[in-house]
Structure 1
Amino acid sequence: MSKYDVAIIGSGPGGYVAAIRCAQLGMKTAIIEKYNTLGGTCLNVGCIPSKALLDSSHHYEDAIKHFEEHGIEIPGEVKINFKKMIERKGAVVEQTTKGIEFLMNKNKIDVYTGLGSFKDATHIEIDGEKKQTIETKNTIIATGSKPASLPFIEIDKERIITSTEALTLKEIPKHMIVIGGGVIGLELGQVYRRLGAEVSVVEYMDRIIPTMDSAQSKELMKVMKKQGVKFYVSHKVSAVERKGKEITVTATDKKDKEVNFKGDYCLVSVGRRPYTDGLKAENAGVKVNERGQIEVNDHLQTNVKNIYAIGDVIRGAMLAHKAEEEGVLVAEILAGQKPHIDYNLIPGVVYTWPEVASVGKTEEQLKEAKIDYKSGQFPMRALGRSRASGDTDGFVKILSDAKTDEVLGVHMVGARVADLIAEAVTAMEFRASAEDISRMSHAHPTYAEAVKEAALAATDNRPLHV
């Protein structure tokens, strides 16, 4: 029987990063993955393939809508080769997952393919091509999440689909009904709207991306409406039925009036659920709460002292980069170090175009906590760089403490803000004030100048370019 210092169950961003860090710190490490490719949801059916389709569809939209204004003329009709688009997405995924294999080999991490489950607190059974058992001093549970649904919806994976199936469709829908106005629904909805589908987003809450700042919700909805996406907020879905190729979604609006939506595809994107199926956590005595999450303390340790859990399977935002930070934290704790994570500084991003990015507290949270704050906002349309590229939608908003001027939250909508949010995270990690940011030199012309201008607006309401 093979023996390890640490075994990780699940090879998503949290799992494989934890494995690499454990190996770097001198631990004999094993990683167990039930699928044939490493990388988990993010690399195989989540972050990476969805971004590949977002980029491909963005290129197509630019070609048919924006090239002419740049003086680029394409003779003949611009056509979509949807099969090739999907194949390219697959190639990106394959290249990325093979990169994880390379990293496992480089760091001398033993990879086991099969379903990993607890025999007891120190033994893991692996049900793959052959059944085998390994012994481990410590275990990190990194089994991630799966798409959630509603009790009355039957996902048939053909016409009533989750994000997984939406990444491998054989045709462009005529009318895609999206249940859920969160990150996944909006990103995939935008992909298919660009490719010519009618898209209707049905959201239970009174706004889209409801966990982000309300100003971002309003801006993104305004822009996506201009792009042709239809929104139905404050609508509670009560039934989804399929007859042949037609899907009917029944909902009630805020006035309790019944509304029916008819389309040929329905994307159910109502969130994700922790995934512990087949883990047999009970054999090790590990507690799972009523929401299906593995319960952990502040060190991400379960109630069983040598078993830890990270990522989507525990409390908190279901984000790949959160899982990565947690994987590193547990590895370093096992090595006797004293790492930390500031969960307030884990950024959130929506990869639509314009992109949406946030870190820290929203205005709604500051009001609820009765924290006195200042707000400074700067529109992207006032930037020379935005006008040059034609990406004039959006803004940067900085919220700072009214007394100390410490930055409490930064919220952005615009071109490349998924990358730009890192500046805000860095500033907040070192507890910068809005004035600190306003006095930093920002290259001209760049989108980042909007951060400096928003900081000037928050400091004493003196932006330079509006």
Structure 2
Amino acid sequence: MPPIEEVDLLVLGSGEAGKYLAWTLASQGQRCVVIERRFIGGSCPNIACLPSKNVIHSAKVASLFRRGAEFGLPASTQPVDMAAVRDRKRRMVDGLIEMHEQKFVASGAELVMGSGKFVAPRTIEVELHAGGTRTILGKRVVISTGSRARLDETPGLRESQPLTHIEALELDHVPTQLIILGGGYIGLEFAQAFRRIGSEVTIIERNATVIHREDDDVTTAVTELLQDEGIEVLANTSVERVSGTSGAEVSIEASSNGATSTVTGTHLLVAGGRTPNTDGIGLELAGVELEPHGHVRVDERLQTTAEGVYAVGDCAGSPHFTHVAFDDFRVLRDNLAGGNRVTTGRQVPFCLFTDPELARVGLTEREAREQGIAYRLAKLPMVAVLRTRTLSETRGFIKALIEPEGQGDRILGITAFGSDAGELLPPVQVAMSAGLPYTALRDAIFTHPTMGEGLGGLFSAVH
């Protein structure tokens, strides 16, 4: 049996929070080891955020080519070369992996490729991909194993070998008829992208609307977008059984309001949520307890039930965003240095990368009503933001919730559905974080013509 190695920091999984903590502490002279089973840098640069946005942009370019006549150019009806789309994505991923490898070398953190599991408190045994094993004891241990696409127990679903986002991003051909299970963020992004690339697309959503937790005007606007793109949406529909094989022919037995129907396609993509990667890694031997849905149980400082062991990112139940995982890193970094940062009450921005985008931060109208919070509402159609007219992208709106008159002028939340909507959030977030009144944005001089100029118009509409 090889000797047990001792290190200052041991990280299981090289995702956002874990890698940044290792790079930071290693650059300060601590011995840090990161164990990674497959994807150097975690899901974001390899199989999730960045690769999906790469393919989404290719789909947007394809859409613009078809709109060529609108811009004084010949419209293109040529089919999309999906292998070229995939290869462009792969080149980006290769560059990101190289960047991560360089950061490990520069920081002094050691990257160990292999499968790790706990064998004792703060002790992980690694089956090395190169052969052999290592057993490593960390003074501090961070679990950063992320999450994966969830497959439910619908009869025939697993047997149909459905696509998840991982396999969908590796397709070298355009699916003829793509069925997507789930009308959340992932499902909608892929639905529009593949429709623009050339697939017939059907979304099956069990709830009454897609992205059903959003405000009614948002779900209505997004549903209209999907319809205009030629995407079929079967809402309030449950999947009873799946037969066939994705990639050849697949059939869905569905029910809606007591009626049954059959949906057929060539490919099936599952986008019905995420499940944490916490099974099979020996957490019970480390004294680490789990929540009922499989997330690592942590407190507001990301401390697990085991002394000296922390969990970050998706596996810890943090909102499933890379930007939140990065903030988990900052919380843990500062606390290990003697600080007292917590994860509760932090600002979490959201962005759906359809075209146009849906972005929001703070309270929605639905949340304000549910919590009994009074507010003033300002709303502006995107067509009033003159930049959208130069782009021929006038769909959507911006709205903001403001404290009631006499109670203050702080911004409670903002939602934007329109071209480059995600770029509108940062200045509003800064104002919200600083407790500035909405008038600070209303009275600012924004460059004309930009999307940000719309904030002035929006906050001028506050009564």
Residue 451 of structure 2 corresponds to 447
SS in 2 for 1:150: coil
CA contact (8 A) 1:57 1:195 kept: yes
- 2:118 and 2:44 mapped to 1: Cα distance? 24
TM-score, normalised by the number of residues in structure 1: 0.93
CA contact (8 A) 1:358 1:412 kept: yes
- 2:201 and 2:207 mapped to 1: Cα distance? 18
Query: Residue type matched to 2:402 in 1?
Result: S
Q: Percent same amino acid at aligned positions?
A: 28
Deviation string, structure 1 residues 360-417 (Cα, Å, up to 9, x no partner): 1111110011111111111111122100011111111111111212111111111111
Residue 437 of structure 2 corresponds to 433
- How far did residue 89 of structure 1 move? 0.7
Q: How does 1:3-402 map to 2 (within 5 A)?
A: 3-35=6-38, 37-65=39-67, 67-73=68-74, 78-128=78-128, 129-152=131-154, 154=156, 160-242=162-244, 245-253=248-256, 255-341=257-343, 343-402=345-404
* Number of residue pairs the alignment of both structures matches: 455
- How far did residue 153 of structure 1 move? 5.0
- 2:207 and 2:133 mapped to 1: Cα distance? 47
Name the CA shift for 1:163/1:157 in 2 (closer, same or farther; >3 Å).
farther
- 1:233 and 1:105 mapped to 2: Cα distance? 50
- 2:103 and 2:160 mapped to 1: Cα distance? 35
- 2:338 and 2:245 mapped to 1: Cα distance? 59
SS in 2 for 1:51: helix
Name the CA shift for 1:96/1:153 in 2 (closer, same or farther; >3 Å).
farther
- 1:281 and 1:237 mapped to 2: Cα distance? 34
- How far did residue 432 of structure 1 move? 2.3
Note the aligned Cα RMSD (angstroms): 1.8
SS in 1 for 2:253: strand
- How far did residue 25 of structure 1 move? 4.8
Q: Which moved more, 1:410-419 or 1:430-439?
A: 430-439
- How far did residue 271 of structure 1 move? 0.5
Segments of 5+ residues of structure 2 without an aligned counterpart are none
Query: Residue type matched to 2:103 in 1?
Result: L
CA contact (8 A) 1:163 1:269 kept: yes
- How far did residue 125 of structure 1 move? 0.9
SS in 2 for 1:160: coil
CA contact (8 A) 2:334 2:341 kept: yes
- 1:169 and 1:343 mapped to 2: Cα distance? 40
- 1:26 and 1:393 mapped to 2: Cα distance? 52
- How far did residue 11 of structure 1 move? 0.8
Q: Which moved more, 1:340-349 or 1:87-96?
A: 340-349
Moved over 4 A (4+): 153-159, 340-344
CA contact (8 A) 2:160 2:244 kept: no
- 2:151 and 2:201 mapped to 1: Cα distance? 19
Query: Residue type matched to 2:13 in 1?
Result: G
CA contact (8 A) 1:344 1:360 kept: no
